[in-house]
């Protein structure tokens, strides 16, 4: 069967948000790669000028091949939209990211973007984050000691490897993949983790996402972050609404 995958469907939908002369944050991973391919097709067909700020070295190479003009973060005044994948997302549009090891640059780019779109297949939707181990980026010098501390906290850290060698990120750091399932308050867990010297970043993206586009079968479902108003502020903060 030659049907388009859910990942690709989501990516095609996301590319529709891109207009000429925009600066786009370019995510990392297989879903983001579909987005870059389809953006490349639009650039070719429509003669668009698109600037991209990549979240990894791999994405930078692939984006250049697809006709996107690469800029560094310091060169851009603003990033109009960032489009990226995720390893898991929940009802509140909270994410686990970093399965490909790009979480640090991804979080920096997401935090510097006007609008963040996550593209995903339906397997990424969860009622509670944590079936996917949370990636934590650490400086190599401190990684063993951090792993000991995380072990004591019940997070069961596993040092990420690539074959026989330790996996190294674009920033030359290591990744500890941990089990967050025993922890319910993700915000306080995240703060606790970030406070440990030598932890550079975690793959918990709790507030950055504005829209999730999820491929399901042959459709794309939009999950949009609600904008709180005076009346519903308390209940709507962090809640999401299915809009189609
Ligand atoms: O570090 C990698 C990123 O966070 C990816 O966006 C994430 O792992 C999802 O990747 P994929 O689209 O390949 O499932």
Q: What length is written for the chain?
A: 244
pLDDT of residue 229: 52
The stretch 131-147 carries a mean pLDDT of 98
Q: Is the pLDDT of residue 56 over 50?
A: yes
What 3-state class would DSSP assign to 167? coil
Let me know if domain 134-203 sits in CATH 3.20.20.220: no
Q: Classify residue 94 by its DSSP letter.
A: -
How close is the Cα of 100 to the center of ligand 1, in Å? Answer: 5
> In a 3-state reduction of DSSP, which class is residue 100?
coil
Contact 93, 122 (CB under 8 A): no
Residue listed under structure tokens 């040092």: 159
Q: Is 103 in the pocket of ligand 1 (CB under 6 A)?
A: yes
What is the rounded distance in angstroms from the CA atom of residue 75 to the CA atom of residue 17? 23
**How many other C-beta atoms are found inside a 10 Å radius of the C-beta of residue 141?**
11
Residue nearest atom 2 of ligand 1, based on CA coordinates: 100
Per-residue pLDDT tens over the stretch 4-37: 999 999 999 999 999 999 999 999 999 999 999 9
Which of 190, 82, 90 lies closest to 134, judged by CA? 190
Residue ranges covered by each domain of the chain = 6-124+206-225, 134-203
Question: Please, what is the average pLDDT of the chain?
Answer: 93
Comparing C-alpha atoms, which of 225, 234, 233, 169 is closest to residue 201? 169
Residues 203, 135 contacting (CB under 8 angstroms): yes
Q: Which atom of ligand 1 is nearest to the CA of 106?
A: 4
What is the residue with the minimal CA distance to atom 5 of ligand 1? Answer: 29
Helix, strand, coil % in the chain, rounded to nearest 5: 30, 25, 40
- 3 band by pLDDT with thresholds 50, 70 and 90: confident
CATH fold label, 6-124+206-225: Rossmann fold (3.40.50)
Atom of ligand 1 nearest to the CA of 98: 1
d(CA 75, CA 135): 29
Annotation-wise, does 99 bind a ligand? yes
CB 103 within 8 A of CB 201: yes
Shortest-distance Cα residue to atom 6 of ligand 1: 85
For the residues of 196-220, what is the DSSP string, one character each?
A: STTEEEESEE-S--SEEEEEETTEE
| Average pLDDT, integer, range 141-153 | 98
């Amino acid at each position: 069967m030659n049907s388009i995958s859910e990942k690709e469907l989501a990516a095609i939908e996301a590319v529709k948000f891109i207009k000429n002369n925009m600066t786009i944050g370019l995510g990392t991973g297989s879903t983001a790669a579909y987005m870059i391919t389809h953006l490349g097709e639009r650039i070719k067909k429509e003669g668009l000028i698109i600037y991209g700020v990549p979240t990894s070295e791999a994405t930078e190479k692939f984006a250049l091949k697809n006709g996107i003009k690469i800029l560094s973060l310091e060169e851009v005044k603003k990033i109009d939209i960032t489009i990226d994948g995720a390893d898991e997302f929940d009802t509140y549009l909270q994410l686990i990211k970093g399965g490909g090891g790009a979480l640090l640059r991804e979080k920096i780019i997401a935090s510097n973007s006007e609008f963040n779109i996550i593209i995903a297949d339906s397997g990424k939707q969860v009622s509670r984050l944590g079936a996917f181990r949370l990636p934590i980026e650490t400086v190599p010098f401190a990684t063993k000691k951090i792993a000991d501390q995380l072990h004591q906290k019940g997070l069961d850290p596993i040092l990420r490897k690539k074959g026989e060698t330790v996996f190294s990120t674009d920033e030359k750091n290591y990744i500890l993949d941990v089990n967050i399932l025993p922890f319910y308050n993700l915000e306080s867990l995240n703060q606790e983790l970030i406070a440990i010297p030598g932890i550079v970043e975690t793959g918990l993206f709790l507030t950055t996402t504005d829209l999730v586009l999820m491929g399901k079968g042959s459709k794309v479902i939009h999950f949009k972050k609600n904008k709180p108003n005076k009346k519903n502020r308390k209940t709507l903060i962090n809640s999401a609404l299915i809009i189609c």
